[in-house]
Structures are given as C-alpha cells and as structure tokens.
Structure 1
Amino acid sequence: MRYSLTACFTLSLVVASLAEPTFGPYNVHEKRSAIPIGWSYTRRHESAATLPLRIALQQSNIEFIDEYLYDVSHPESANYGKHWTAGEISRKFSPSEEAVSTVRDWLVENGLESERIRVSSTKGWINVNVTVEEAERLMNTEYNVYTHVSGQEHVACEAYHLPEYIGTHIDFVLPSVNFDVKLKGRSGSQPEPGRAIGQPGVGTTPKTTGTISQTVTELEQCDQYITPICLRALYELVYEPVATEKNSYGVVEYTPQAYLQSDLQMFALNYSTDLLGKEPVMVSIDGGYAQTEYQGFDYNGESALDLQYGMSLVTGKQNVTLYQTGDMVEGASFNNFLDAIDGSYCTFEGGDNYTVDSQYPDPYGGGYEGPEDCGTVAPAYVISTSYGYNEAELTPFYTARQCAEYAKLGLMGVTILYSSGDYGVAGHGDYCLNPNGTQSSTGTIFNPTFPGTCPYVTSVGATMVKPNATVFQAQPEMACMEVIYSGGGFSNYFAMSSYQKTAVDYYLQNYPPDYPSDIWNSTGMSRALPDISANGANYVVAVDGQFELVYGTSCSSPVSGAIFTMINDARLAIGKGPIGFINPTIYSAGFAGAFNDITEGSNPGCGTEGYNATAGWDPVTGLGTPNFPKLLENWLALP
C-alpha cells in the first residue's frame, strides 16, 4: 500500500534530484534550474563570511508514514478509526541516534571542531556556523549573493552535493537552493504583497463581480445567487447538531485577511438568524488578530466568505474556531499554523525555513515580539483552508516536509481540506510553467497547486449551478466556468496514492487528455487532484457593509468542511470517533455513489481547454459534490 512522498517522475520541472551522479563520491542532493523572476545574480559570496548552516535530519520511519495512515483510515482496515496520540507520533518519527552521530562525525572528519556543532534537543536538526569557504568545500558548491528588484539580498547556491551515505540521513540543508524568500515590507503604511499567504493578490483568493442590491431568498434563484438554503438543498444537508461539546470545526485565516463582526451579523440577519449574536472562537497564532486597519474586499472578502458559510451550515449550535495566524508585519505561512497545532513540527525535519516561513519573535522589530506558537493550540477535528501556493514556487523538500505533517495530523484523526485553486490547469495568478521550471503568464505547461497536491490532504474543486437550472433538478451542477475555473490536474512532485489509483486509472484509460506529454504529467503515476468539489459560484457574502457576489474554490472548501463536521457530530453522538483522513474512505468501493457525479464543464488554462468533467473521478471536480444523506449513512456504518 505504500506510496512515496516525492515522485520519481518530474517532466523537466522539478528543481531537485536525489540521484543525479556527479564528481567523486558525492551525489547532487538538491538542484535549482533557474533564478526566480525578480532576482538576479550579483556576486560570489565572500569566502570568509559566516554562514549559519542548518542541516535537517531525516526522521525515523518516515518512509512508512503512508502505511500507518492507511491503517487507521481505510474502511476495510481492522484499525480503522484507531487514531494516534501526539506523543505516539513524536516517538515514532524522532530521528535516530545513527542519523545524528553519522552526520556529526562527517562534519568533524571534514575539519569542523565538535564544539561548533549543535544538535537540537529533539534531534531534528544540526546547527553549525561555518565560513562560506568551509561550506563550499563541505558540499562541493558555490554560494552567491542575489539581489531582488526591491533591493533585498539573498544567499543561495545553484546546487549542492553530499556523500551518498550522508545523503540518506539528511533531508535538506539551509541555506542552499531554496529561493522562496519572503520579502520584507516594512517601510510603507500598507503591507506589500510578498511571500506571506494572506496578503492581497498572493495565492488563492476569492473573486467578486461586485455588489448586489436585493435580498435573495428563493431557491429558484440558486443559479444566480447562492445562499445557505441553496447549499442545503443541493447537498441535502438537513441536520441539527447534537454533540457540539464533543465536536470542533476550524477555519484558518492569514493576517491581514480578517472578518468584521458587523458583516457576520448583517449576513446572519438576512440568511442565518441562528448566528445572531454569535462570533467565531478566535485563537491568535503568532500575533494574529482581526485587524481593521485595512478594509475592502481584498482584506475582508476571504474571511467573510469562510466564516459566514462555514458557521451557517454547522448552525449556531456548533462553535467554529477561527485560527487567525500571523501579525501585520511578518505575516505567516502554512508552517507557522502547523507549528501551533503540533509542537513536534516546530523542529520536525530541521524546523521551519525562514526564507519562507515567518520568524517569531520578530527578529527585525516592529512585529509580534512574543514567542513562536509551538504546540499551543488544539487542532479541530476538521480544518478548512482556502489559501494555497503554486507547487513550483516551493522546493520538493519543503513540500514533502509539510506533506508529512498533514499525514501526522491524519493519524491523529484530523480532516484537512484545501481549496484546489481558481485558474483551471494554470497556477495562481494564471501562471503556467516554462520548460526551465520558471513560471510566467506566457508559459504553456500545466501548473498544479500545493498543498492540494499532497496526498494526505483533501483537495476541493468548484462547481456551479447550471444557467437556468434549479436545485430541484436531478443533476443541477456542472464544473465552475464563471469567473473562475476549478483547479485540477496532476502533481509534478508527489506520487499517486494507492487509494485513488483505481479511479484515476479509469479516467486515464477512458478519457485520456489529448495533450502533448510535455505540457502535463502524463505518467499516470502522480497524485491527482481535486478529490471532491462543492459549489463555488455566485455566493452572496456580506463584505464591508454590503452584499457582494463571490466566486472561488475558497467557497468550496469551508462548505465541504461544514458538511464533514456534521458527519463527525453524528458519529460522536453515538460514541464513535471522528472521520479523520477521509481520502481512502471516499475512494473506496463502499462509498461509490456517495458523491454527486459532475459530468459537464472543464477547467481551461495555459492556452488549452484543460481537462473535461466526466463520469467518475476527473481532474476538474474529483469524485463530485457531497450527498450528505449517503455519506452520513456510510460513515455511521463504519467503526
């Protein structure tokens, strides 16, 4: 049942190679094919300068993590639903003494005094301050200084090499090829869009076609205006929660995205009166708060959408936790959130990468000065996130480390949902890949999104009610093709998981995409997305005191999360556990027909029509949209 965290097929796109031979006894460990847009080579780094090397040690048993997860997640397993504790996970995946001693001995043998070498308390990483000359000799590389158009400098190498016997114990070394620099925006009165998820224009964000003046209440208008009553009708969500004290649903937002309580109450008054007087239970992570300094759709639209619909569908009886992550200066990444809900992740496989992830206390001053949140927050049973990166923006090692954390959360019984993106087969911003691995608006190679490509999350695409159709029809929905296109396709980093092989093989055999193999991952062995879908068009959302029409897979993820939260409620009410990682279950034969199959529409991008929605799973709408009564019946029958 095992499947690899990183795929061995990569078109010509992957920026790392674990097996490429090079001179002497060394192998290439990581390699980058191009300098990112906006950066340029400036000079060789001074040989006498100090370089703080951070060596991420490989975890014990990490190669079996999928088998462990499958064991508690597949409905035919004798251990289905027997989720692990955080302590069990920490003990299982701690690096071995052999890894620590082998890497430390290698450093000493290469002339580094033992007193300079520091091993973290969790044995997850080794720190050693070296000169650039020492680092270059140690890893057969050259360190350069690169300059961004903003003037910011960054130290990196094009590739680095490690002895084969050392490479098996090391996941990655920092600094090295990683170029995902989070640009600092501290001078202006308004934060600059940078690497931080949550900044306007970064990653997945909902789209709007503007304001609407009338209040919409009729089910007959769901092809033009989606409200909670439309979603309940589409997915037959008729359920009142009864185990609310045992259950939990979390929605993640990244500052400066923030909701306004006045908008939530405006929405409640018109469409969900049981939310009157209610607000989410806000948990601040790394200085996060519901900021009001900046308002407008770019700052309030995402949070307003997620909370108004997520809270409405679980009803006012069920508390919803808002994980508000990152301050106004540093912002935050997915890793910062993951650190907070799992303390072992703070140092897992070397800890965070501060060229991508925000660092707290703020080392530059002016931001959150408190300690980094590590294991300070309890994870909800279902967590929905409507943000994402392009997979190609991050290195395979970075994505593999984060993907393993989603597997750990699944082992603990947590359901993780991510929206699949709004640009069809193109990446966020409508960027596609070039043959050299860079991204551009003129690229022609399909550009999948992360974390949706991680096999341990559930990726959610978008549908829409067909024009002039009603929710009373047998098949009222199609793939979303208004304003946004449902993100979907095939990963260039991750291998196909065993749970989806039958469904994806059927698609590839019966509906093979008619595109050259050099513009999409046609190997038939890669992680395919999305897994499921839900409506993502024409949502009526209260934003800054007025109702707007909103579109995006940003709508689909919190709606799906609410539905799975209600299924958890029913299980918890009869003494069963949460559904946890759902992918092996929803792809299983026992759940055939539990989703409404979507067979119309496509997801254009990269100068193509994209993929087509077809009978069965497809890389536009996945298995389809939730049928709540069937899903509930099936899950209640499981242990």
Structure 2
Amino acid sequence: MRLGLLNLVIAFAGAAVWATPPEFTHKLKESVAPPRGWERHGPAPPDHIIKLRIGLPQPSFPELERHLYEVSDPDHERYGQHLSKEEVEALVAPHPESVELVSQWLAEHGFDESDLERSSAKDWVTIRVPVRVAEMMLDTTYSVWKHNDGDYLVRTTSYSVPEHLHDHIDVIQPTTMFGRFKGQKSTIHSVEDVPEQKNTVALTSTHAATAPVVDASCNTTITVRCLKQLYNAVNYTVKAAKNNSVALTGYLEQFANIQDLQSFYAEQVPAAVGTNFTVISVNGGLNNQTLAEAGAEANLDVQFAFGVSFPTPGTYYTTAGRPPFIPDIGTPTDTNEPYTDWLDFILSHPNPPLSISTSYGDDEQTVPESFARRACAGFAQLGVRGVSLMFSSGDGGVGDGEEDPALQQCFTNDGKNATKFIPGFPASCPFVTAVGGTTFVPETGIFFSGGGFSNFFKRPSYQDVAVKNFLGRLPKGIYKGLFNPAGRAIPDVAAQSNRFRIFLSGRPVLIGGTSASSPAFAGFVALLNDARLAKGLPPLGFLNPFLYTKGVSGFNDITTGNNPGCGTPGFNATQGWDAVTGLGTPNFGKLVKLVT
C-alpha cells in the first residue's frame, strides 16, 4: 500500500482493508519485563501511526570492526587510513537474501517499494504503519504506557516475526524500547553579570609545571578563557580551519539561538563576533530563532564547542522527534529514539564533520540490548570513516540519572529488581568517547559525573590495562554484585562540567552537567584535528585506542572526588583511570605534540 493512500485507508477503514498475508508461524523475537516506573494505561489507538524501523543483519560487521581498530591504533601501520562511505556501506550491507525475504514479507502486508525508506547501506528499512497493522505483522498487542512522572509511550513488551525471518531481522523498534532520550544537564542558575576578576591562582596538579596560571574566577564561573587556561591551549593558533569541522547534535525541540551566540562571543570570544554556524534540520527539526524559545542545552553546546574551536567551521544538527505519546491530543506519529534518525542521516552524508558531540543519553537498561548494539554499530561506522564521537557520560553518578542521589531507583528492569548501578547509553558503546565531569581549580571529580560499567558491552581490549588497575584497587566486598566488572567502563575522559557561563534568551546564566563537558572536550578535539590537518595528517577519528595508549600522558590525572548514587558513595577518583573522571582532563599542549 502506498503511503499516499494511508490516510484514506484510515479514514475509510470500514470500506478498505490491508492485504491479508498468507499464514506464517510466528516465533517470539524479543520480550522484556514491564520496566520500572511504567504501568499500562490502556489500549493503543488502532489508527495511531508508528514509524517502524527494521534492522537487517550486517554479516560483515566483524570485518568492519577489525578495520576500525587498525586505523585507530597509533602503533598500527594503517593508523589514520580511514575508509570511505562506500567501503563502509559494503561492509555493513545485509545479505541479498535478507533484503529479498523482508521485502516479500512487507509486500505480503500491502507495502510496495515506494512505501519503504531504506538506509544508505540498505541495512535498515523504515515504514509507517497504524498500530493495528503493526500488531498483525508482529503478532503482538501495543498499549499506551504511562510513566510515574507523567510521560506516555505506545509500546509492547514482546513481539514475534515469522520463523523463517528470524535470521534475517536483527531488531524492530519501536516495540520494546521504553527509553526516554534526555539531555544530560543539571540545574540552571540565573546570575548577575560579574566583572572579570584579575587575580590568578596557580593550577596545582601533576602537570602544574607545564600549565599556565588560571584566573581565580574559574573556581566559580567557567568561560572559554578558563578552559583554555586549564587545558593548556591559550597560545594555540588555528591553522587549517577550512579543512576542519566540528558539530553538535540537538534533539527534543532544542535549537541554538544566534543572537545569544553573538552575545556570548562579544563577551568571551570577541574575534568571533559576526560569525555563525551551519544549521541542518533532520526530519523537520526546529530552528525557531525567537529569543525567548532558545534551548539551554543547545545554547550551551554551540557556545562552548564553537567558542573553544573558533574559527573551525561549526554545524548544529536539529533533529525532530520526541518519543512520548500524548493520548489526549491524538499525536499523529510516535517516533523512535530520534538519535537513530540523525545516525541514518549522517551516515548517508559523504563528508561528515570530524568532531561531533552529543549531550543526550538514557539509562542503558531502558534500551533493549539488540537495539543498543545496532546503534553502537552505527557509531563504529562513523569512527572508521575518521569521525570522533563524544557523548556525555550522564548526570546521575552511578545511579539512574536522577540528580538527587536520595531519589534514585537503582533496580534492574529484568523483573528481579536487583540493586545495581545504572550505566548510561550511548556512553556505554565502546565505539564512542564518554566524557565525565570535573569542577573547581585544582580539579576534582564532580558528584554527578556518570561512571560505571556496561551490562551490554564487554570491556574492549584498549581498556584492559587501565581498568584492571582500577578494579584491583577497589575495596573488597563493598561493590560486590553492584556492577559488571567485565563490562565496557565509562567515562573515558573528563572536562569541567559546572557553572558554565552562557547566554540564554538574552541573559547570562550558569549551567552545568556532563552536557557541558562533552562539547567542551569536542572543541579541543577539533583543535587537535586542526594541528594534524595543518601538517597533512588525517583526522584522529575514533579516539579511544589512542587515548588509552600514547594519549595517557596527555591528560591531567584527577585523583579526588566521587560519584555517589544507589545509596553508596559510588566510585572514587584515583590515580590512573577511574570510573568518575576516566583518564582525566586534557593537557592540550602535551596532546598536540603526541598527535603530530
């Protein structure tokens, strides 16, 4: 059935029917326990439209992963030899039999090729269907689910597909995903303008001998100047801006206000006044420049990432989609996690930006493992193409994202209600760089810095030495059963994350969270790429194999602070890698020598 007829079919449901497929034996594909905090509110409206994404297997993905680690390992002869878009798509393409069988199944339910949206590599197929058709296709029943904070979703707790398709479909969503992609920011505090303080204080850290002095005001207010002082980049001059790029992703109706950016530049980066960034709307993402409607998250991201990396060209992706369903107003479409729409878009682009930060995430356990693995595989595709991806590590310490540790619910979603630390996703994907948070001068790990160990992804080999050292120093017994010591560990690195001075709706405010750390770190990665490009070297791409080997000496080791949650003190920052601040904060002056 063509999409152009979809509304007509819905309006005249009594007069028209979807094609009745032949009988198949359905077999359960995925099932989840009703997640904590959600209760079934009622039946899903049968004509409610779902944007259904079907992931086809990627049989050659292990080969792509091999390429990724080789081109990202600074000791490998192929370091920096990133793959092209076409080479990557060939490595993630599904088997032709999978494409054919899934296409036949969809045709048997009334869809022809013009109704299907295929990803650039043909490994995802997207269709828009009413609930009643999705229920027939997946032998399931959708319901409206209500969260205890008032959000609604249209989801099911299990679905099936014809048995002969089980080896040809990895995942179908939205079905069992109850995640709510959210910004990683803490409370915003409005403040009065404060004159810049002239006195300074020496940075006391293991790298004090090579670091410049830092304005005393940086203990209470973080500016671009503070970050460049703290991270030893005051005297760096951008040399290859025309070949470089840095970008930010925005979701949930967030957009960055240009007038606010100009106010920020006038105060903190005067040379940038009058310059702008590129805005790209994905699936109708908003870019309303009404000053009063500016997004705090978006403004924070663009002002600091672009402020640190100026004059590197910047891009802001505003992606439409908000999963919560509003039953009383007949929401026309229930989207999937919107970052996968952005991922489809950016993977189809021949020249994606070289440094990209995302300040959004979710509790790992609210995302089905099958979906998390497919999204993570998408991030790997960007890495092997030479893109560095940064994600905020989260603002709940070792807990579930609730900033107040006393309110955290640290229980598993598997029906056992076991007490466990709650890692965040996508930060837990081993193919991205997770950025935690620090505060003050000298720096200390901040209490809300998300850290811990994945329950989905095993620890990658690049973390073995650093993480085993950390685990070996943990007190015996205290953490027993609370985390998966064999899991991918987060964060990888850290940066300042508190009291960032931005302009929002025409006024200066202070804002914090690992949503500040990630774009700030991405700005410094853009400067490292600039240094490489200026010498004719390729961009850094996937950072982690470098960070945990040659890059270790380019970080300020943070040895104080902890990230409480789940009724515990959480983990402690300590010598070497730790689950609060990772390897530490960047010493740009050292890193630039290491990468060039």
* Fold shared per TM-score above 0.5: yes
Where does residue 490 of structure 1 map in the other structure? 453
Instruction: Give runs of aligned pairs for residues 351-390 of structure 1, distance below 5 A.
Output: 375=349, 378-390=351-363
Answer whether contact 1:203 1:428 (CA < 8 A) is retained.
no
Q: Distance in 1 between matches of 2:571 and 2:78?
A: 37
Change (3 A) 1:454 1:247: same
Instruction: Give runs of aligned pairs for residues 440-455 of structure 1, distance below 5 A.
Output: 444-455=419-430
The Cα shift of 1:128 comes to 10
Equivalent in 212, 222, 226 of residue 218 of structure 2: 222
Where does residue 574 of structure 1 map in the other structure? 535
Where 1:492 maps in the other structure, the secondary structure is: strand
Answer whether contact 2:135 2:142 (CA < 8 A) is retained.
no
Where 1:245 maps in the other structure, the secondary structure is: helix
Where does residue 169 of structure 1 map in the other structure? 168
Where does residue 633 of structure 1 map in the other structure? 593
Answer whether contact 1:255 1:325 (CA < 8 A) is retained.
yes
Change (3 A) 1:629 1:93: same
Letter in 2 for 1:586: L
Where 2:307 maps in the other structure, the secondary structure is: helix
Q: Distance in 2 between matches of 1:177 and 1:90?
A: 28
Q: Distance in 2 between matches of 1:128 and 1:261?
A: 36
Q: Distance in 2 between matches of 1:151 and 1:568?
A: 41
The Cα shift of 1:594 comes to 1.2
Query: Deviations along 1:185-213, whole A, 9 cap, x unmatched?
Result: xxxxxxxxxx5x5xxxx331343233133
Instruction: Give runs of aligned pairs for residues 504-523 of structure 1, distance below 5 A.
Output: 504-512=467-475, 514-521=477-484
Q: Distance in 1 between matches of 2:321 and 2:156?
A: 27
Equivalent in 182, 189, 205 of residue 209 of structure 1: 189
Where does residue 251 of structure 1 map in the other structure? 248
Q: Which moved more, 1:570-579 or 1:543-552?
A: 543-552
Equivalent in 476, 497, 500 of residue 536 of structure 1: 497
Q: Distance in 2 between matches of 1:634 and 1:450?
A: 30
Where does residue 96 of structure 1 map in the other structure? 95
The Cα shift of 1:458 comes to 0.3
RMSD across aligned C-alpha pairs, in angstroms?
3.7
Where does residue 603 of structure 1 map in the other structure? 563
Q: Which moved more, 1:226-235 or 1:302-311?
A: 302-311
Where 1:622 maps in the other structure, the secondary structure is: coil
Change (3 A) 1:289 1:166: closer
Answer whether contact 1:116 1:129 (CA < 8 A) is retained.
no
Where does residue 238 of structure 2 map in the other structure? 241
Query: Deviations along 1:477-502, whole A, 9 cap, x unmatched?
Result: 11014xxx111111121111111111
Letter in 2 for 1:531: D
Where does residue 337 of structure 1 map in the other structure? 342
Answer whether contact 2:312 2:526 (CA < 8 A) is retained.
no
Q: Distance in 1 between matches of 2:575 and 2:161?
A: 47
Q: Distance in 2 between matches of 1:284 and 1:135?
A: 28
Change (3 A) 1:501 1:211: same
Letter in 2 for 1:432: Q
Where 1:432 maps in the other structure, the secondary structure is: coil
Where does residue 321 of structure 1 map in the other structure? 315
Change (3 A) 1:407 1:513: farther
Query: Deviations along 1:459-493, whole A, 9 cap, x unmatched?
Result: 00011124xxxxxxxxx211014xxx111111121
Q: Which moved more, 1:115-124 or 1:241-250?
A: 115-124
The Cα shift of 1:179 comes to 4.2
Instruction: Give runs of aligned pairs for residues 401-550 of structure 1, distance below 5 A.
Output: 401-430=374-403, 431-437=408-414, 444-466=419-441, 476-481=442-447, 485-512=448-475, 514-521=477-484, 524-550=485-511
Instruction: Give runs of aligned pairs for residues 289-300 of structure 1, distance below 5 A.
Output: 289-292=286-289, 295=292, 299-300=294-295
The Cα shift of 1:243 comes to 0.7
Q: Distance in 1 between matches of 2:393 and 2:318?
A: 21
The Cα shift of 1:294 comes to 7.6
Answer whether contact 2:356 2:389 (CA < 8 A) is retained.
yes
Query: Deviations along 1:257-288, whole A, 9 cap, x unmatched?
Result: 23333322222222221121122222232223
Query: Deviations along 1:373-405, whole A, 9 cap, x unmatched?
Result: xx4x84211011112122122211221111111
Query: Deviations along 1:54-78, whole A, 9 cap, x unmatched?
Result: 7532112123332221011011111
Q: Distance in 2 between matches of 1:295 and 1:43?
A: 38
Identity of aligned residues (%): 32
Q: Distance in 1 between matches of 2:361 and 2:134?
A: 34
Q: Distance in 1 between matches of 2:346 and 2:169?
A: 25
Gaps of 5+ in 1: 1-24, 181-194, 344-374, 467-475
Where 1:318 maps in the other structure, the secondary structure is: coil
Answer whether contact 1:433 1:439 (CA < 8 A) is retained.
no
The Cα shift of 1:158 comes to 3.1
Answer whether contact 2:251 2:320 (CA < 8 A) is retained.
yes
Where 1:429 maps in the other structure, the secondary structure is: coil
Equivalent in 277, 286, 301 of residue 306 of structure 1: 301
Q: Distance in 1 between matches of 2:161 and 2:443?
A: 52
The Cα shift of 1:528 comes to 0.6
Answer whether contact 2:277 2:315 (CA < 8 A) is retained.
yes
Q: Distance in 2 between matches of 1:446 and 1:480?
A: 17
State the TM-score, normalizing by the size of structure 1.
Answer: 0.74
Q: Which moved more, 1:491-500 or 1:204-213?
A: 204-213
Where does residue 71 of structure 1 map in the other structure? 70
Letter in 2 for 1:302: E
Q: Distance in 1 between matches of 2:483 and 2:302?
A: 35
State the TM-score, normalizing by the size of structure 2.
Answer: 0.79
Q: Which moved more, 1:267-276 or 1:624-633?
A: 267-276
Query: Which structure carries more helix by proportion?
Result: 2
Letter in 1 for 2:490: L
The Cα shift of 1:573 comes to 0.9
Where 2:502 maps in the other structure, the secondary structure is: strand
The Cα shift of 1:546 comes to 2.4
Q: Distance in 1 between matches of 2:49 and 2:315?
A: 44
The Cα shift of 1:30 comes to 1.7
The Cα shift of 1:127 comes to 8.7
Where 2:402 maps in the other structure, the secondary structure is: helix
Q: Which moved more, 1:378-387 or 1:26-35?
A: 26-35
Q: Distance in 2 between matches of 1:439 and 1:211?
A: 45
Answer whether contact 1:156 1:179 (CA < 8 A) is retained.
no
Equivalent in 616, 619, 622 of residue 582 of structure 2: 622
Q: Distance in 2 between matches of 1:606 and 1:429?
A: 10
Q: Distance in 1 between matches of 2:127 and 2:437?
A: 47
Answer whether contact 2:493 2:584 (CA < 8 A) is retained.
yes
